[in-house]
Structure 1
Amino acid sequence: MLNAIEVILICLVAQAALTDLAMRKIPNVLILSGLMLALILHLLSGQPGASVSFWLAGGCAGFFLFLPLYLARGMAAGDVKLMAMVGAFAGPWQALQIAALSALVGGAMALLMLLFSGRWRESARNLRLICKPMVLRLLGVPLLPVPLPPSASVGGIPYGVAIALGTVGVVAWRHQ
């Protein structure tokens, strides 16, 4: 049986997924209210010191798991903040599990979107342009990164959907 924290978390990620699909944006008010709601629910659970540290550790874990993807321009800031909110509800260990499952779901979504859009060549070109300087630097060649022109994107992924599916998957798996 799902507890109140899990039910509220699923409702929040479902709202984030629907908003991401409709507007390609996850509103900050949803993230902030979710973070505050997670803190309040953890405080009401009985152990104030442990609850605040669980909330903080989960939020930080969720944030820092997806921050490198944002810094590499592979993900939007709303997705990183959504994962922080999910971590604040679920805790650090489940945040790691949810992030891993979300990455698998997001990868499958990306492949399907490339398959249906027919933009394989552009995607391969972008990947080559991004990775070539990194590989050469690993080999000791001093190079500057080559920025992609803004028009080079082959499309965005509504990653809020992947995070929502990852969250539901981990919560469902936990209750089997």
Structure 2
Amino acid sequence: MTMFDSTAAGTLWGALFTALLLAACATDIRTRRIPNTLVLAILGSGVAWSIATRPASAGLMASATGIGLGFAIWIGFWLAGVLGAGDVKFFAAIGAWLGPAATWRAALAAALLGGVLALATLVQARALGPALRRLGLTLSAGTLAVLGHAGEAENAPTRHLPYGVALALGALLVAWFPRLIPW
């Protein structure tokens, strides 16, 4: 059983959801940005789908709580400088489609997929060793401050990861294969 019913309308809604998320993946991979117009299209169509498939007030409430939860889950990562604002807005818009329960499960799936994506990116760039050393420097920042090397962890070069891909894949897994993500 998927999030979308097996009617023609359900299939069209599911195709729209998938196409919008794949478009976001493509732009995030290519430009490391997710355009606000695409985020608004995802948000608006998610609210429309939610209202069309439930009683209006229940659909609106499911979308609103999904949006709020999607935003709340990732905003701390943006504040910490780990995630881009576009990723936070993107996942909030995904929440309009998923509602609160599925948004939470999609965030957990995305976090796992994001970890795999980060490791794969580091291995591909032959940067896993330096990244682990930076992690060690960051974790031992108190000791480094005493030794006079505190700036090394903060000044290390970074690679930008298209995290929108992990966010989208987590959402698609929950929408199309909910039994794979049972928590």
Instruction: Give CA deviations for 1:96-147 in whole Å, capped at 9, x if unaligned.
Output: 111111111110010111112122343234334544469xxxxxxxxxx978
Structure 2 counterpart of 1:73: 81
Distance in 2 separating the partners of 1:133 and 1:92:
38
Deviation at 1:172, TM superposition (A): 2.3
Moved over 6 A (4+): none
Identity score, percent: 29
Instruction: Give CA deviations for 1:58-80 in whole Å, capped at 9, x if unaligned.
Output: 00111111112111111111111
Question: Does residue 17 of structure 1 match 2:21?
Answer: no
Structure 2 counterpart of 1:57: 65
Change (3 A) 1:96 1:46: closer
Instruction: Give CA deviations for 1:13-37 in whole Å, capped at 9, x if unaligned.
Output: 1110001011111001111122122
Alignment check: 8 A CA contact 2:119 2:128 kept: no
Change (3 A) 1:61 1:133: farther
Deviation at 1:154, TM superposition (A): 2.7
Alignment of 1:20-169 (within 5 A): 20-132=28-140, 148-149=154-155, 152-169=156-173
In structure 1, the gaps of 5 or more residues are: 135-144
In structure 2, the gaps of 5 or more residues are: 5-9, 143-149
Distance in 1 separating the partners of 2:37 and 2:101:
25
Change (3 A) 1:64 1:5: farther
Deviates more, 1:85-94 or 1:163-172: 163-172
Question: Does residue 170 of structure 1 match 2:143?
Answer: no
TM-score, with length taken from structure 1: 0.82
The secondary structure found in structure 2 opposite 1:91 is helix
Q: Which amino acid aligns with 2:89?
A: K
